[in-house]
Amino acid sequence: MRKQKGFSLIELLIVVAIILIIAAIAIPNLMRAKMAANESSAAAGNRTIVTGEIAYFAAYPTIGYTLMASLGGAAPCTPLPATACLIDNNLAQDGTPAGSGKSGFLYSNAVQASAGSAVPNQFYSQAVPITGGSTGSKAFCAADDGVVRQSPSGTWAAPGGYAACLLWNPLAN
**Predicted pLDDT of residue 156:** 79
Whether residue 145 lies inside any domain: the answer is yes
**Predicted pLDDT of residue 141:** 94
Q: What is the pLDDT of residues 26-65, one digit of tens each?
A: 888 888 899 889 999 999 999 999 999 999 999 999 999 9
141-153 average pLDDT score: 90
**Percent of the chain, pLDDT > 90?**
47
**Predicted pLDDT of residue 29:** 87
Q: Give Cα 124 to chain centroid, integer Å.
A: 14
Residue range(s) defining the domain that contains residue 141: 42-170
Q: pLDDT category, 168, cuts 50, 70, 90?
A: very high
For the whole model, what pTM was predicted?
A: 0.82
**Predicted pLDDT of residue 100:** 65
Whether residue 3 lies inside any domain: the answer is no
Count of domains in the chain?
1
Whether residue 20 lies inside any domain: the answer is no
Q: pLDDT category, 120, cuts 50, 70, 90?
A: very high
Whether residue 19 lies inside any domain: the answer is no
Gyration radius of the chain over CA positions = 23
Q: How far apart are alpha carbons 88 and 97 in whole angstroms?
A: 17
Whether residue 16 lies inside any domain: the answer is no
Q: How far apart are alpha carbons 106 and 69 in whole angstroms?
A: 14
Q: Which residue has the higher pLDDT, 6 or 48?
A: 48
Whether residue 4 lies inside any domain: the answer is no
Whether residue 100 lies inside any domain: the answer is yes
Whether residue 146 lies inside any domain: the answer is yes
Q: What is the pLDDT of residues 64-108, one digit of tens each?
A: 999 998 999 888 888 999 999 999 888 888 766 656 678 889 998
Q: How far apart are alpha carbons 142 and 103 in whole angstroms?
A: 18
Q: How far apart are alpha carbons 12 and 141 in whole angstroms?
A: 52
